[in-house]
Structure 1
């Protein structure tokens, strides 16, 4: 399905790293294991992975704290957080930190494989063949330019904010139906979530993050409105736009 993705694993359990690497080798995927955050950070100065598997409980740092820092540095590769901490609060903390998925330990390797494949398909655009290509990729939300293809928002002063592919897909779904309520299940499917939204707040966490970002850029409240029991509605003014040059 994929041409040798590079999976990085940050996990202090060396036996688990060895097992995962062996299974990834069987799929024809390359993998690199790290047991300390510093080793990962050093390697990121050289290159980036196709996807990162990140343990939450590390010896010298929590995974959510490390991930928050990576996102602030501009790293946008998909991240699956692995943790024995499985309460709703723990999962929400991981998603708020920037994780694309959260899997509790112990887990089925087949389930992990499917979650990884889904995220890689979204990241590489492999899912685009399933639906007709959209006629419009760029929009203006008030004074902010949104490029869905590049997954980025550009402010009036030229400041560019990069989005994950999943978050960009969410915003595209809302932008194409301004003023209309888009259901939570629809948004979850578009974002590539494998989580049952009736049992999880993961989609709410992602939309809350997008809402805060838009409100900061637009300097207006309620850019995205939550409709209880139904879904979400974009309140910001929307119009079609041309791609920006040199962004």
Structure 2
């Protein structure tokens, strides 16, 4: 049974989400402050987090940023009352896996939760990619672990997903839109530069020398060269 943490300070929203997720068969834990949610993330093991952006104690953005900086790759869906594009970009660049703008449809939220949990399960169950070498980086997509010169390398869940997608299409050009659709699961074309920022991070982790294994194909996208 997947375990979901809800971090939300609006009591009615928190209770409504908790009751509906439990009805769907999920195990649910809750927090109504950002700092409390962050502590629970540090101490517990969750399959997914629903994280409000505007929280007392610590903002959802800060919770997301600190969580990813510590190497915690638990999938995060941001809940935000803001519809501004810059907030969406910031949330994704801090490592969030998706965002939902309030007010939202419960059916839509449940669908997004199922998509992310299904993807996570698919990656974990892929026995053919237990450990691969990309540049100087060794990666276990099965365990969400990476090493450079036998030293652990911190990577977010989204970085693993993007690298996994590029690896499956090694030697072929994939567009930014393809990566957005396949990794985020919906159309993020207006903020496609998010992909570019993730690629920069991956390059820094893969290539410690002057070689480049993720090649930019100008005007189209990227190609992974093994």
Q: TM-score, normalised by structure 1?
A: 0.79
Report how many residues are paired.
225
Change (3 A) 1:48 1:225: same
Within the candidate set 155, 160, 165, 1:173 is matched to 165
- After TM superposition, the structure 1 stretch with the greater mean CA deviation from structure 2, 153-162 or 223-232, is 223-232
What does 1:32-71 correspond to in 2, within 5 Å?
Answer: 32-71=29-68
- State the partner residue of 1:7: 4
- State the partner residue of 1:156: 149
- State the partner residue of 2:203: 214
Change (3 A) 1:160 1:127: closer
Matched, 1:144 2:133: no
Matches of 2:175 and 2:84 in 1, distance apart? 25
Matched, 1:120 2:80: no
Q: TM-score, normalised by structure 2?
A: 0.85
Matches of 1:108 and 1:38 in 2, distance apart? 27
Deviations for 1:3-58, whole angstroms, at most 9, x for unmatched residues?
Answer: 3x222111111111011112112212222221112322333353122211111111
- After TM superposition, the structure 1 stretch with the greater mean CA deviation from structure 2, 40-49 or 103-112, is 40-49
Change (3 A) 1:89 1:222: farther
- List alignment gaps of at least 5 residues for structure 2: none
- State the partner residue of 2:223: 233
Structure number with higher helix proportion: 2
Matches of 1:127 and 1:50 in 2, distance apart? 12
The two structures, once aligned, show a CA RMSD in angstroms of 2.6
